Amino acid sequence: MSALNGKHILLGITGGIAAYKSAFLVRLFIKAGAQVKCIMTPDAEEFVTPLTLSTLSKNSVVSSFTDKEKNWNNHVELANWADVMLISPATANTLSKMVAGKSDNLLLTTYLSATCPIYIAPAMDLEMYQHETSKTNINQLTNSGHIIIEPESGELASGLEGKGRMAEPENIVDFMSQHMLKQLPLYNKKVLITAGPTYEPIDPVRFIGNHSSGKMGYEMAKTALNLGAKVILISGPTHLTLSHPNLELIKISAAQDMFDHAMLFYNDVDIAIASAAVSDYRPKTYYDQKVKKTEEDTFRIDLIKNPDILKTFGQQKQHQFLVGFALETNNEVENAKQKLEKKNLDFIVLNSLQDKGAGFKNDTNKISIITKDDIKRFDIKPKSEVAKDIFNEILDMRFNNKTNA
């Protein structure tokens, strides 16, 4: 999954021969999971057709302030839609107009209205690129906070060899993805999350478990990945799946397995979130064969304690930011505060089985985040949004940096 996944990309195409590459760019952006809208200068239509780009992007392509029916193409709406704007190719003419603040076409007017990050992929002939005016314009755009995707060397449209050809679409997409990833608040941070239930086997066909679905833990893993983190997700049995280049998914069954794997990674992570519903006890004896029913009315299973993963995390905490979960049925806040202190947590997430739509199996949750000094209560909402609330609190407390992940 790319950092471009889910992003709204506004692609501005100007009138250079490299405009033909915009079709490949659109395809690669779509493949990366982005939504794309294209704005063309009138001259760009000489090199690539709006029909091609609209077919690939599944969005209409605009190049003038009004369409054929004289309906207004609102440049402000286009600019506000975009999470990021790319001008590619950016000709010498367009670069000079951007610096001068000219707005004699829809693309430039939209550019001047945009508040999102702006990426620029220049494309021009060798002498044009080396000209002092072009260098000055590019430097000024860089100083304005725009990100320049440097042109590449090779054969140019004039037949000359040298630097000036637009970066290849694959390289543009990779550059943007890597650059955006590095801007994310958890870039290069490691996050350990436990999720789901544990099953404590009695015999080959029976176990002691609980109703946890793992949904909350998996949503937190998705949120951490979207924030740029490398995530280790240790998951008990669940039907859920998740795949990402920065994800290490470890599937376990019993609590001891979860403990063993968690301790392998704990020392190296920046954030640890224990959201799994771990069985407190396991059968003292495991029967190799299925236990047969007898004539007795009762059946006894002796239980022994499982290792306390969260308590061990708290005891060994050094640099880690540690978050625990508490699912309570009575004296919720009091019990959660005790757990917060006893297990040396930075905060604890409380959810109650008394709240409709909260707890196990649901796609929604209602939580309170409890620290030593404060309680923040949240309304019921989808677990994907709950995960964002939790990470906003982590970022605010640990990095003083809230985000709308």
Q: List active site positions.
A: 210
Q: Which residues is 9 bridged to in the sheet?
A: 36, 84
How many C-beta atoms surround the C-beta of residue 156 within 10 A?
A: 22
> How many whole angstroms separate alpha carbon 347 and alpha carbon 223?
18
Residues belonging to the chain = 405
> How many whole angstroms separate alpha carbon 74 and alpha carbon 14?
19
Residue 169: asked if its preceding bond is cis (omega within 30°), the reply is no
The half-sphere exposure of 386 on its side-chain side, counting CA atoms within 13 A, is: 28
Give the largest CA-CA distance in the chain.
96
Strand 347-352 relative to strand 368-370: parallel, antiparallel, unpaired?
A: antiparallel
CB-based contacts of 348, cutoff 8 Å, min separation 6: 323, 324, 325, 326, 336, 337, 339, 340, 369, 370
Dihedral sign for Cα 70, 71, 76, 77, please. negative
Backbone angles phi, psi at 234, to 5 degrees: -100, 110
Token pair belonging to 129: 């690129």
Helices and strands per DSSP (H, E), number in the chain: 13, 21
Token pair belonging to 157: 């449209």
> How many whole angstroms separate alpha carbon 216 and alpha carbon 233?
12
Closest by Cα among 82, 80, 62 to 72: 62
Dihedral sign for Cα 337, 343, 348, 353, please. negative
The half-sphere exposure of 273 on its side-chain side, counting CA atoms within 13 A, is: 25
Closest by Cα among 403, 398, 404, 336 to 367: 336
